[in-house]
Structure 1
Amino acid sequence: MSTEARQTAIHATGLRKAFGDKVVLDGIDLDVPRGTTFSLLGPNGAGKTTAVRILSTLIRADAGDVRVAGRDLAKDPDGVRRAIGVTGQYSAVDGLLTGRENLILMADLHRLGKTGGRRAADVLLERFDLVEAANKTAATYSGGMRRRLDIAMTLIGDPQIIFLDEPTTGLDPRSRRTMWEIIRELVKGGVTIFLTTQYLEEADHLADKIAVLDGGRLVAEGTADELKRLVPGGHVRLRFADLAALDVAARTLGVVTRDDEALALQVPSDGGVRSLRALLGRLEDASIEVDEFSVHTPDLDDVFLALTGQSKAPAGQTKTLTGHTENEKVTSR
């Protein structure tokens, strides 16, 4: 196995799926590094769950080359299954069994043996703060507890990759934050997380890389900060000590929005390091002192609406973000 393959958890090229005349995935490419959180965003019906179902061997793709945990999805689906865990939109917990019994059932399915299975169950009950509820039926659990148990059951097989399909849907804010901490701990331990979510804040907080799916095609991908720079409206706010400095800065910078009462200027900017350096360099060259500055960029809500509600990438193209931080960061492929 090549070094690149060892470093890649999921690699897909030209992934396609249609149900009858409806094309759900239209030739998407994915590359997910190991030990990271990758988030797939998109409106309802965009194809997120279909992508998860294909990558987790639940349904077959119509076309495309896919490797998951270094294994060919089409040729070695059993090998893929041994390397992954799946937590779907709806909990797979058996409400008639206790928390411990649910975990032991999963251990038996993985053939861990009586002693090994019970040991693994106890470790996971402790890890997910379910010891006190271990002998209560799962039907009595809160939504957050059921979700924690669901992920604990997924971990019984010690998966390298976990697919989390909208794992916090319906959870209260406290339970959602708890789930975020669990996900971060899993990634710290070397697990790769493939996350789909309707909560853009969730992707912003958790994902190392985000891809936006719309109409079966990837329309953008990059880090959360890179995606935010795709949408116009970013700016730098500069505040000065007095009106004289404000006047000189306004003349020096040209296109600005001025607020005399606050002694502040609003300068259009993508928020990138290079553009910030250039802006501050112009002020320094003019010997203009800035009391404070702050960078404002659109949030993921703005990105989501812009990419899935208005503009469409031409067929076969994706807005791909490079490591640059200025306007040239967007290239077509």
Structure 2
Amino acid sequence: MEPRSVPQPKPAGVLLVGAGFIAGAHSAAIAANPRAELVGVVDADAGRAAAFARSQGGIRHGSDLAEALRWEGVDAAIVCTPNDTHAAVGAAVAEAGRHLLIEKPLATTVADAKDLERRFAAAGKVLFAAHTHRAYDYGRAVKETVDAGTIGRPLLVRLAILGGWIWTDWSAWVADPERSGGHALHNGVHLLDLATWWIGDEPVAVRARGRKETATDLRIYDYLEMVLTYANGATAICEMSRGHRPATLSRREVLVVGTDGQLDQDWDGEAALLQAEGGTALVPAAGGDGFAAQLAAWLDAIDGAPPAMPVADAVRAVAMGIAVETSIATGQPVALSGVTA
């Protein structure tokens, strides 16, 4: 008797919203995962949508989001549009009853972020913010070591991500604080969320400084120093730069000090050096591509698994980014409990 074939689940049909440079990373992750299928792309620029569609083998494309969300086969959306559009685009996806993976930050205000949280909860659909560093090898390796209790309770996180590039040109929306929310909300939020995820406690206050390294007439701070304090007494010191030179520079430094040991990780490898009472050892990275791992986690959540990026964490990340920008503007520490804008 021939063995009966087991029917495979239908892949989730994904609509890509926004055809900018980050869309390519998401489409590559979809192409590598049999549980998802890229069924179309929509962009406010019809020509850009058409060009991206051709690069993906001729998928469906358009410039009307509401219409695209009604296309046959669309189960979910990945949003890669500018930060100031996230609230409206996310609301449209929720109204259409589709799952959503949205580039960070979730929104540019806490009120809008909480509104999206409510909308997706009411729709019974998954809302997942793309804090991709949680899915990168280095981020998962540190988290797994901390959760294993090997270094005890984290007391200090020192995280630096330094780069020498400043986006495409002076007209780029990321350099407009009205559209991006500022560098802390657009890029610094990666570090704020990651350090908080590792520490595993609620941040209570932020103090920050910003500099304009690339040029004095830059409207955002391309260099950030951010210090977070937590309810349990832990501290995170985060340094984020897009203004280092030479322009080709890329560097990351991680130090996590706990009550029973410490973890050091440098850019030259995803593995980390673990120093504890039991001796010194290497902690291997989790392995895999960050965007692919993030997509898989989103699909798992759609299938009913606990979300790897809870919406409440994404809302908190928005509050932390806003707190950093406020602290830079005022020169004073900012309590997270007071961040509502």
Larger Rg computed on CA atoms: 1
TM-score bin, normalised by smaller chain: under 0.3
Q: If the length of structure 1 is used for normalisation, what is the TM-score? A: 0.22
